[in-house]
Amino acid sequence: MTELETRPLGKSKVRVSSLGLGTVPLSGFNADVSYDEFEATILAGYAAGIRYFDCAPMYGFGKSEHYLGHALRANKLRENVVVSTKVGRVLKPASRTKKLETVYGIEWIDPLPFLDTYDYTYDGVMRAFEDSQHRLGLDYIDVLLVHDVGRAWHGDQSEFYWNQLRASGYKALDELRSTGAVSAIGLGVNETESVVGVAREFSIDCSLIAGRYTLLNHAPLEAAFDELLQRNVSVIAGGIFNSGILATGVSGPAATYDYGKVPAAVVEKVKAIESVCLRYAVSLPAAAMQFVYAHPAVATLVMGAKSAFEVDQNVKAINETIPTAFWDALTEANLLPSNAPLPTAAR
């Protein structure tokens, strides 16, 4: 069993391993995954030292929670791990619910017979939390994240849902945390601005932010991550491969950038990064992972995987030896900003 570093989530008592395992790829995202495959991947993660597992009602419309909860119970792992799930969506029977049109247009393969509806009110948060407890089969949930609140997901409807959260959703979150039903609360989003905005008006412990801080995206360095550090709000970093391009490189047969076609400018930048990787014998995934984890605001990296092999690759990447000269070369080539926190020594 591998020992992975742990860090606290903000002001809470929750500590998470440097790697977390996200269940999106295990829930029918571009692949049909059986329960046996799901369980084997969870067990491989646990054997590799991963102690943080993330799921959500949206993932497979309940499948990720059903499968994860059963795998943890059946293998008697619950007391040794941290589990996060999300609120903001309530699942309803697919036969009587209109399908949402979403910005990413995800089509789950073989999902459970439900569809998601948005609800950030007090009642919606409480119902979503209790439904998640039932699907997971757990009497408490360590980390509860408000899912996809903000303009990046809701566009022109974002203010409507913000108002729901402000009017009564915060109250529900505060009650769940203060009564010990959950230990840490935060957001699960694809943008940084909403996290800063919430942190200014309500006390959160953490946020899962997908794809906004990577080898290719450095905008949070301008001010956002500094403010989150000052407020003791930990970042759970997701999407650090920008949906694929930083895992496969430009020659990958299915390389994507933020779930779409890779822009020409991104292709050129990744080629330049790969050139430096080749010079220093560093793998691109290792560089992508270790760069993000080096930021002091980041508590853990949530990495999706759909097999034991992919789990093993992620663990090897976070532990790969990278010389400090490699980071210096990226900075000198203007591929990283000069104010980016970097790993301080070769591993």
- The answer to whether residue 254 scores a pLDDT higher than 80 is no
Which helix (H) or strand (E) segment holds residue 299: the answer is strand 298-304
The pLDDT confidence band at residue 347, using thresholds 50, 70 and 90, is very low
pLDDT of 346 reads 45
Position 149: which residue type?
Answer: V
Backbone angles phi, psi at 165, to 5 degrees: -65, -45
Q: How much of the chain, in percent, has pLDDT values that exceed 70?
A: 98
Other CB atoms within a 10 A radius of the CB of residue 70 amount to 17
Amino acid identity of residue 9, one-letter, is L
Position 1 scores a pLDDT of 52
Per-residue model confidence (pLDDT) at position 174: 98
DSSP code at position 167 = I
| pLDDT tens string 40-77 | 999 999 999 999 999 999 999 999 999 999 999 999 99
How do strand 298-304 and strand 19-22 relate by DSSP bridges? parallel
Task: Give one word for 154, left, alpha or beta, with left for phi > 0 and alpha for psi -120 to 50.
Answer: alpha
pTM for this prediction: 0.96
CA distances from 109 to 93, 106, 253 (A): 17, 10, 21
Q: Please, which residues bridge with residue 90 across strands?
A: 117
Tens digits of residue pLDDT in 74-113: 999 999 999 999 999 999 999 999 999 877 778 899 999 9
Which amino acid would we find at residue 157?
Answer: Q
CA atoms within 13 A on the CB side of 27: 24
Least trusted range by pLDDT, from 67-71, 196-200, 252-256, 339-343: 252-256
162: phi then psi, degrees, rounded to nearest 5? -60, -45
pLDDT digits (tens, 9 = 90+) for 2-47: 679 999 999 999 999 999 999 999 999 989 999 999 999 999 999 9
Looking at the chain, which runs of residues are DSSP E strands? 6-8, 15-17, 19-22, 52-54, 82-87, 89-93, 114-118, 141-147, 182-189, 206-210, 234-238, 298-304
pLDDT of residue 301: 98
Q: Residue 253 in contact with residue 303, Cβ under 8 Å? A: no
The radius of gyration computed from the CA coordinates of the chain, to the nearest angstrom, equals 19
Give the separation between CA 27 and CA 310, rounded to whole angstroms. Answer: 15
Q: What CATH number should be reported for the domain whose range is 15-332?
A: 3.20.20.100
Q: What share of the chain is helix, strand, coil (3-state, %, to 5)?
A: 45, 20, 35
Give the DSSP H/E element, type plus range, for residue 209.
strand 206-210
271 an active-site residue? Answer: no
Is residue 140 annotated as part of the catalytic site, yes or no?
no
Q: How many CB atoms lie within 10 A of CB 276?
A: 20
What is the Cα–Cα distance from 33 to 31, expressed in whole angstroms?
6
Catalytic residue status for 35: no
Q: Which amino acid is at 91?
A: L
Q: How many residues does the chain have?
A: 347
Candidate list 63, 86, 122, 170, residue with the active-site label: 86
Q: Closest by alpha carbon to 131, among 77, 223, 58?
A: 58
